Amino acid sequence: MKMTKACLFDLDGVIVDTAVYHFQAWRRLANELGFDFTEHQNEQLKGISRMESLELILKWGNVTLTEEEKIERATRKNAWYLESVMQMTPNEVLKGVPEFLKELRANGIKIALGSASKNSRLILEKINMIEFFDVIIDGNNITKGKPDPQVFLLGAEATNCKPADCVVFEDALAGVRAGKSGGMRVVGVGDPKILHEADFVINGFEEMTIDRLF
């Protein structure tokens, strides 16, 4: 039986659902470029970086931009996204998350964030959750996006825990694969059909207890 010493959480879709704000901002950008994309396509953007997302979207629209134009468009998208983030409140924290984090803390288990987002600290502050996290590893710390395990390996290192002693919580297949390739156990949060590579899948944190970690 493995002992869990640290839990590493993705942000979007796990702690809080900001995916809709990303979708709205990316779709606005696509519309400006003369095309549209679907919510189904948007699933492919989960867990990957801003520039990787832009490259996928441009491919869908068969649009070519210079590197300078890509940076300008990605920056504009982020500004629109941040307008939505600034309106966020603690009511947007997903059900069961605060209770589970309190249970982890009460049992001495380290809590880390492992997110591709460069806005993670701002989001955690807006939803009054930043004090729960011992470690924050995000898009400002990493050079490789998921499914590369870098973000989670850095999180494990920062908590002074071995990967085998860590459990990752992820809502995206790229994130599940990142955790598994990093040698960690992974709990999927969401659709079991999409997250079938996880060790097990929960619909939400209302059904998650510390006993299920061991």
Q: What is the pLDDT of residues 58-70, one digit of tens each?
A: 999 999 999 999 9
pLDDT tens by residue, 185-205: 999 999 999 999 999 999 999
Question: Pick the residue with more confidence: 46 or 128?
Answer: 128
Domain boundary among 56, 85, 114: 85
C-beta atoms surrounding 17 within 10 Å: 14
Q: Please, how many CA atoms are within 13 Å of residue 198, restricted to the half-sphere of its CB?
A: 24
163, 153 Cβ separation under 8 angstroms: yes
Would you state the structure tokens that stand for residue 124, as one six-digit string?
């955690």
The one catalytic residue among 12, 138, 165, 171: 12
User: Residue 193: which CATH number?
Assistant: 3.40.50.1000
- Residue 53 identity (one-letter amino acid): S
Answer yes or no: 12 catalytic: yes
Are both 142 and 176 inside the same structural domain?
A: yes
Residue 207 sits in the same domain as residue 110: yes
Is there a single domain that holds both residue 102 and residue 51?
Answer: no
Mean pLDDT of the chain, nearest integer:
94
Same domain membership, residue 109 and residue 33: no
| Structural domain that includes position 109 | 6-16+93-213
What CATH number corresponds to the domain at position 33?
A: 1.10.150.240
In the predicted structure, residue 19 carries a pLDDT above the cut 90 = no
Q: Please report which confidence band the pLDDT of residue 159 belongs to, taking 50, 70 and 90 as the band edges.
A: very high
Assess if residue 189 is contained within a domain: yes
Q: Are residues 190 and 116 in the same domain?
A: yes
Contacts of 44 (CB under 8 A, 6+ apart): 56
171 annotated active-site = no
Q: Which pairing describes strands 166-170 and 185-189: parallel, antiparallel, or unpaired? A: parallel
Instruction: Tell me: do 80 and 102 sit in the same domain.
Output: no
pLDDT of residue 47: 72
Say how far apart CA 69 and CA 71 lie, in whole Å: 5
CB 195 within 8 A of CB 171: yes
- The pLDDT > 70 percentage for the chain reads 99
Give the Cα separation of 111 and 187 in Å (integer). 15
End-to-end CA distance of the chain: 7
What does the pLDDT look like over 113-138, one tens digit per residue?
999 888 999 999 999 999 999 999 99
pLDDT in tens, 140-157: 999 998 999 999 999 999
Contact 37, 56 (CB under 8 A): no
Shared domain check, 203 and 101? yes
Question: Which residue in 10, 138, 165, 171 is the catalytic one?
Answer: 10
**How would residue 168 be classed by pLDDT, with cut points 50, 70 and 90?**
very high
Region of 160 (left: φ > 0; alpha: ψ -120 to 50; beta: rest) is left
Check if the beta carbon of residue 168 is closer than 8 Å to that of residue 175.
Answer: yes
Do 115 and 43 reside in the same domain of the chain? no
The whole-number pLDDT of residue 1 equals 44
60 or 213, greater pLDDT: 60
62-116 residue pLDDT tens = 999 999 999 999 999 999 999 999 999 999 999 999 999 999 999 999 999 999 8
**Do 153 and 57 lie in a common domain?**
no
Q: Closest Cα to residue 10, out of 109, 94, 126, 102?
A: 94
Q: Count structural domains, the chain.
A: 2
